[in-house]
Structure 1
Amino acid sequence: MSDIEAAVALNEEQLHREEQERIVKQIAKELQLTLKQVRTTVDLLDEGNTIPFIARYRKEMTGELDENRLRDIEDRTSYLRSLEVRKREVLRIIEEQGKLTEELRGSIVKAVKLQEVEDLYRPYRQKRKTRASVAKEKGLEPLSAWIWSQPKQGDLMAKAAEYMDEEKGVHSAEEAIQGAMDILAENIADDASIRAWVRRYTMDHGMLTSEARDADAESVYENYYSYRELAKKMPPHRILAINRGERESILKVGLDVPADSVHQYMMKQIIQGPSAVSEVLKAVIEDAYKRLIAPSIEREVRGELTEKGENQAISIFAGNLRSLLLQPPVKGRNVLGVDPAYRTGCKLAVVDDTGKLLEVAVTYPTPPNNKKREAAAKFTELIHKYEIQLIVIGNGTASRETEQFVAEVIAEAGRPELAYLIVNEAGASVYSASKLAQEEFPDLDVAERSAASIARRVQDPLAELVKIDPKSIGVGQYQHDVSQKHLEESLKAVVESAVNHVGVDVNTASPSLLSYVAGVNGTIAKNIVKFREEHGRFLSRKQLQKVPRLGAKTYEQAVGFMRISDGENTLDRTPIHPESYAVVSRLLKELGVGLDKVGTKELAELLAQQSAEELAAKLEVGIPTLRDILDSLQRPGRDPREELPLPIFRTDVLKLEDLLPGMELQGTVRNVIDFGAFVDIGIKNDGLVHISQLSGGYVKHPMDVVSVGDNVTVWVLNVDLKKGRVGLTMKPPKELANG
């Protein structure tokens, strides 16, 4: 390498370090974290560590940042690095034009938003043909400069006449003035500080308006047929609803901004006092705003509002999905899964308490066939033959008619332990038609596979739901109206987080489940299963190192989340990482007990009495890591989902007509959205608990009070038999009486 090349490389390295430090400082300021926390996290991510691994096994290094904070740092780092790339590109282009001043360079370097960089770059960007560019070609820039200088005296018409030129197409003084005004209007519209002010003002004072294209047409958007709301106060779900109405050509949407206030601000910035061109400049300012600034700022503000709506919709979907994935497994029961339908009949699938498929069948208890007697005989046969304890019904088409039928079968069965459950079957049909389902159940048709999936969903919701594209699990709002790439990334992160939170039994997990373990991809997941099939059960975590393509980095990231329940080393069934096994040995030696005591009540009681701070100092290990070790040793093999209440099992069905205001019911939260929660109370349609009815106190968002899968006590507020709707409240009757 030559001296020049070495100097260039050194300079680039210096610039990279400066950029990195700028990014770290910006993120620390935004997220209110220490520089060390951000710097360490960025370094760990750059080294290829996964977020679940960092959150669980590098707590000392990050100051115990949780997954959400780590993802925030990851997202902001990615954004700000892309921003630095764009800054370099913009600086290069402006410098090549010979127009880069130190002041401009400083403004671009300091920018923390892409929009700021683009505003600063706007005057230097190559433009398509505009009225201003045409005027410049006609040689009218000097006239625009004369007007911009705001001379106290002078005759504008006479000055403009000097620029008349038949060859260039300037036929009159009026045409010359108009061309100069076009140049000035574009210059004003390109001013970064003016655009920034107008953007802020538009967001703060703009009223989003919508009206019907056909006021007589019936639609779900009737609330928005004549609507106005301050843009910055619009809740996300309303933004997305109005966007959809506009996209479907039902609504006309606009942004109403007080133009006079904008004109006054711009005049104050531009007009220096009385001059020979004051009136012309006022006209230029009004034209610049109306023709050039307002339309593009409206697009930007609407885009910002849409992004706000999308981010909230994705956040809700992600939160609901996590709650659904972490539903407690219903273990130790033989289950009869039912995929209900009308014409094609109810498909049945029996699975044992391990999820193994035992038998499939089809019955026709619902219209138009109504073969209830034959169906009841088949149900009863399967119930007795396999000692069924739970019937699980998908909540799709014909589910409530099937539920009524199942309740009657249970009443006749004479088995007190028998109950039924309605489950969200979203995505079951997607899974059933997938290549994965074909490999799993090659001899079943699509509907039979769906019934098996529905049955397994209660036995291990996480293991079954990871087989389905997260977008197909409908537990959100407006998920089809948001950036599908952003949605997919967010939901994948949620599934990954849930899988690693629970841990995976490496001897029973499917490739679908294994592929979400930190550091493991689809190929490695299949290789793990193939290795297991060829060599038998894994007896130790160390054996994973023999799996093809599972290298040292993957092993480090993944092994702590993989469990071996009956292996050679009892620690392999805990969340303790093998890198900490030596710490466990020192700990047990300190306490005077052997490894064989792990899992005993005696050791659990002994560990509960220990001071993590004192032990950490003795064992020369971080306090957060030791706390996790103590917790894991007290409850080895623990499934965190088992601490949650099981779903509500039912034996009888309610009808809408049975409900009366004030009636107390037990229900299961099916979906949480911006304005409330939908609760399954055992009738055809879920009841709505509006956000105002979730608690006696102020509720900022429903997710602060309830989650998907929660068992809740509700009271009937109102019943609309015509529309089939039920209003519910979670406020006890005494609170309701007091308002």
Structure 2
Amino acid sequence: MVLQQNRKERGIVLSEQDIVLEQVQDELLAKRQERIIKQVAKELSLSIKQVRTTATLLDEGNTIPFIARYRKEMTGELDENQLRQIEERVVYLRNLEDRKVEVIRIIEEQGKLTKELQTSITNAVKLQEVEDLYRPYRQKRKTRASVAKERGLEPLAAWIWEQPKQGNVYEEGAKYINEELGVDSAEAAVQGAQDILAENMADDAAIRTWVRRYTLDHGMLVSEAKDAEAESVYENYYSYRELAKKMPPHRILAINRGEREGFLKVNLEVTPDSVYRYIAGQVIKGQSIVENLLRSIIEDAYKRLIAPSIEREVRAELTEKGENQAISIFSGNLRSLLLQPPVHGNVVLGVDPAYRTGCKLAVVDDTGKLLEVAVTYPTPPNNKKKEAAAKFHELINKYGIQLIVIGNGTASRETEQFVAEVIAETGKPELAYLIVNEAGASVYSASKLAQEEFPDLDVAERSAASIARRVQDPLAELVKIDPKAIGVGQYQHDVSQKHLEESLKAVVESAVNHVGVDVNTASSSLLSYVAGINATIAKNIVKYREENGKFENRKQLQKVPRLGAKTFEQCVGFMRIPGGQNPLDRTPIHPESYKVVDKLFQELNIELDKLGSKELSDLLTEQNPEELAVKLDVGVPTLRDILDSLQRPGRDPREELPLPIFRTDVLKIEDLVPGMELQGTVRNVIDFGAFVDIGIKSDGLVHISQLSGGFVKHPMDVVSVGDNVTVWVLNVDLKKGRVGLTMKKPNVAE
């Protein structure tokens, strides 16, 4: 049906024979799709119906945020993570099926395809299995075995492989002496035959699979210093060994980096005796005149051919494990950072600190509009504190500034000390300061987008404005920056950049659609992450808004160039129009459900203008969703979402989170003593703990063992970026400027 439908749409008329061929191809595609769906359902412990429905919805061009929010009945309420897992596995398995077809075709063209081989390839569930099976038939560069084959030594190799009980291998080898072909002795002939058999063993799929598994289970990853006298951050790995399969992901990536930077020599050590025994068990049939020769060939095959390639494959698998974990951590941290609660209603002074070039200042009003920029020099080497203080006081009084936001880059803590002194001088109890992560601000400042937003400002002034806006609406500001430039991960520069980019884009997309966007104020950067919207359509929305004024209702989006019916369906539920013609346009309720809402209000005998009132909220709370869903002829999950949206119209889910910690005075590392209780903000979560800003120059570390009194599998199970936490000082290293913290309350009795 697929091919026939495509042909019909293109107006192509085919012969009856071609139509029959298309029907056969369609049947094969359908069987392939069903096989993939069953496998994904089994892998992810989901029903076949859930996987089939999800795959169909994705194939129809629906986005994951849209499916997760507005197609819950169809998928059985799968969440975004489950939907992405299905998408990832379906894509992988479809590519795997395509590769199987290609491999079978190539082997068949060589005239070497057997039924058994075809079955093995067809039944493979991993790409590695297919490549192992294809390996003997792949075109190779010139090898010792290929040279031996060119010299006519395959029959001799076959004779040895038969493992004769009688005869002499060198007498047999003498039959193949041919100086024209380069075989000048019986020994050379036998050696050539050995090379052929060694390569055959190295190409055997079953042997490779077993050796790969054994190496991963028993291999020791060993690292040594290239120069033991060289100082580096990798000194812990100058003489290090650990069972490869037990290595934590961050350690794998650290050793990889040390090797790449030339400080470490790394290899995978495996005791070969078990490997020799296994291969011998597969190869040697019993006593023969060539038994010892075969054992020698096995040893050569493993050491020269199998071990080096398997080591590369296993290390690649370990690296992939490390990369996946690093990307997962970065993604989790990024989501937490993007969903930080906005600090509304404040005129903010943003400060981009520096030494020689001075602190750039930017004042923005409570909507993020830039009011004024300036530069002061309170830090070394200029130390113009008096002049700087005068400027700060002027701006504070002129604009009624309530919050000063300082970037955490160069000269941050010196600037913080200065700002704390200024706040004390003002005597204004409502004035406070906040340190924010400025990662990516310089990237944004030099971008084309920043130039368009602030054409009259220099790079540092734009950075100060971005820092100020980060607290007012973290999501709206951070989406302007390449996610990779926001430093909330570990080893993000050591992983597959393509995989990282795809994962981070999905995180930003998820966060944006979770919050929703005000279509009348959102930047094109923010709009481009809305489900179904690309960069071109996002710019068209902004352009339409500028030319025609504010959107009054969601239907007007259909007038935006290139925003077609499918895109409208995908995006409209995530677009908000506060104060628009239809009160429902400021809620997450999709227009396709507006008729359901109308029936609901009729059932409740209340008017739509009561939206947001306590009267409506109380009435909705009393309803039984299961019973009401039957009356309204709607799915229960959809109705629950509708009821929740009606009770809290215009709700920003981020506002339910605690605000960041505002400070008015500076804490120095010298002030800290073990046991001191402090309030801090989690800045980064990594495999072995969390870094917490407690108001000193460097963030303190809460090791994973100090996060909770119970067992902690991973720090992300306990804390997230942006969390406000209570910590106690464990230890202080003044020389290195390091502070150890604990989240386990000390036992006072002790």
Q: TM-score range by the shorter chain?
A: over 0.9
Distance across 2 between alignment mates of 1:279 and 1:406: 82
Contact 1:83 1:113 in 2 (8 A): yes
Identity %: 81
Distance across 2 between alignment mates of 1:604 and 1:735: 47
Map of 1:493-508 to 2, 5 A cutoff?
A: 493-508=506-521
What are the superposed Cα offsets for residues 653-712 of structure 1, whole Å, 9 maximum, x if unpaired?
A: 000000000000000000000100000000000000000000000000000000000000
Identify the residue that residue 369 of structure 2 maps to in structure 1.
356
Map of 1:115-134 to 2, 5 A cutoff?
A: 115-134=128-147
Distance across 1 between alignment mates of 2:185 and 2:582: 95
Matched, 1:469 2:460: no
Matched, 1:443 2:456: yes
Q: 2:229 aligns with which of 216, 219, 241?
A: 216
Map of 1:160-239 to 2, 5 A cutoff?
A: 160-239=173-252
Distance across 1 between alignment mates of 2:69 and 2:574: 10
Greater shift in the superposed pair: 386-395 or 156-165: 156-165
What are the superposed Cα offsets for residues 114-145 of structure 1, whole Å, 9 maximum, x if unpaired?
A: 10000000111111111111111111111111
Alpha-carbon deviation of 1:209? 0.5
Amino acid paired to 2:327 = I
Matched, 1:483 2:496: yes
Identify the residue that residue 92 of structure 2 maps to in structure 1.
79
Amino acid paired to 2:492 = Q
* Paired residue secondary structure (1:167): helix
Alpha-carbon deviation of 1:8? 2.2
Distance across 2 between alignment mates of 1:221 and 1:722: 20
Give TM-score, length-normalised by structure 2.
0.98
Identify the residue that residue 595 of structure 1 maps to in structure 2.
608
Alpha-carbon deviation of 1:399? 0.2
Distance across 2 between alignment mates of 1:201 and 1:654: 54
Alpha-carbon deviation of 1:2? 2.6
Identify the residue that residue 139 of structure 1 maps to in structure 2.
152
Distance across 2 between alignment mates of 1:326 and 1:575: 17
What are the superposed Cα offsets for residues 353-385 of structure 1, whole Å, 9 maximum, x if unpaired?
A: 111111111000000000001101110111111
Alpha-carbon deviation of 1:273? 1.1
Q: 1:248 aligns with which of 237, 261, 269?
A: 261
Identify the residue that residue 6 of structure 2 maps to in structure 1.
none
* Paired residue secondary structure (1:666): strand
Identify the residue that residue 343 of structure 1 maps to in structure 2.
356
Amino acid paired to 1:488 = E
* Paired residue secondary structure (1:733): coil
Identify the residue that residue 271 of structure 1 maps to in structure 2.
284
Q: 2:436 aligns with which of 423, 427, 432?
A: 423
Alpha-carbon deviation of 1:3? 3.5
Amino acid paired to 2:233 = V
Alpha-carbon deviation of 1:151? 1.1
Alpha-carbon deviation of 1:605? 1.0
Identify the residue that residue 398 of structure 1 maps to in structure 2.
411
Alpha-carbon deviation of 1:467? 0.6
Identify the residue that residue 563 of structure 1 maps to in structure 2.
576
Alpha-carbon deviation of 1:734? 2.1
Matched, 1:456 2:463: no
Alpha-carbon deviation of 1:179? 0.6
Contact 1:393 1:399 in 2 (8 A): yes
Identify the residue that residue 11 of structure 2 maps to in structure 1.
none
Identify the residue that residue 387 of structure 1 maps to in structure 2.
400
Map of 1:10-29 to 2, 5 A cutoff?
A: 10-29=23-42
Distance across 2 between alignment mates of 1:559 and 1:698: 44
Distance across 2 between alignment mates of 1:607 and 1:698: 42
Identify the residue that residue 83 of structure 2 maps to in structure 1.
70
Alpha-carbon deviation of 1:303? 0.4
Alpha-carbon deviation of 1:735? 9.2
Identify the residue that residue 655 of structure 1 maps to in structure 2.
668
Amino acid paired to 1:481 = D
* Paired residue secondary structure (1:397): coil
Map of 1:633-644 to 2, 5 A cutoff?
A: 633-644=646-657
Contact 1:696 1:735 in 2 (8 A): no
Distance across 1 between alignment mates of 2:355 and 2:135: 61
Distance across 2 between alignment mates of 1:166 and 1:432: 73
* Paired residue secondary structure (1:734): coil
Amino acid paired to 1:551 = G
Unaligned runs of 5+ in 2: 1-13
Map of 1:282-297 to 2, 5 A cutoff?
A: 282-297=295-310
Alpha-carbon deviation of 1:168? 1.6
Distance across 2 between alignment mates of 1:497 and 1:166: 70
What are the superposed Cα offsets for residues 196-237 of structure 1, whole Å, 9 maximum, x if unpaired?
A: 000000000000000000001110000000000111111110
Q: 1:575 aligns with which of 585, 588, 592?
A: 588
What are the superposed Cα offsets for residues 265-308 of structure 1, whole Å, 9 maximum, x if unpaired?
A: 11111111111100000001000101010000000000001111
Distance across 1 between alignment mates of 2:566 and 2:193: 65
What are the superposed Cα offsets for residues 324-359 of structure 1, whole Å, 9 maximum, x if unpaired?
A: 000000000100000000000000000111111111
Identify the residue that residue 43 of structure 2 maps to in structure 1.
30
Amino acid paired to 2:459 = V
Amino acid paired to 1:431 = Y
Identify the residue that residue 373 of structure 1 maps to in structure 2.
386
Alpha-carbon deviation of 1:257? 0.6
Identify the residue that residue 171 of structure 2 maps to in structure 1.
158
* Paired residue secondary structure (1:550): coil
Distance across 2 between alignment mates of 1:195 and 1:5: 43
What are the superposed Cα offsets for residues 41-66 of structure 1, whole Å, 9 maximum, x if unpaired?
A: 00000000000000000000001011
What are the superposed Cα offsets for residues 157-198 of structure 1, whole Å, 9 maximum, x if unpaired?
A: 211111112222111111111011001001111100000000
Distance across 2 between alignment mates of 1:271 and 1:535: 83
What are the superposed Cα offsets for residues 503-559 of structure 1, whole Å, 9 maximum, x if unpaired?
A: 000011111111110001111111111111111111100111111111000000000
Identify the residue that residue 708 of structure 2 maps to in structure 1.
695
Unaligned runs of 5+ in 1: none
Amino acid paired to 2:527 = L
Identify the residue that residue 5 of structure 1 maps to in structure 2.
18
Distance across 2 between alignment mates of 1:81 and 1:135: 39
Amino acid paired to 2:542 = V
Identify the residue that residue 732 of structure 2 maps to in structure 1.
719
Distance across 2 between alignment mates of 1:60 and 1:233: 42
Alpha-carbon deviation of 1:9? 1.6
Amino acid paired to 1:219 = S
Alpha-carbon deviation of 1:617? 1.1
Count of residues paired in the alignment: 737
Identify the residue that residue 8 of structure 2 maps to in structure 1.
none
Distance across 2 between alignment mates of 1:170 and 1:700: 62
What are the superposed Cα offsets for residues 614-668 of structure 1, whole Å, 9 maximum, x if unpaired?
A: 1111111101000000000000000000000000000000000000000000000
CA spacing shift, 1:244–1:39, aligned 2, 3 Å: same
Identify the residue that residue 260 of structure 1 maps to in structure 2.
273
Amino acid paired to 1:554 = T
Identify the residue that residue 100 of structure 1 maps to in structure 2.
113
Amino acid paired to 1:471 = K
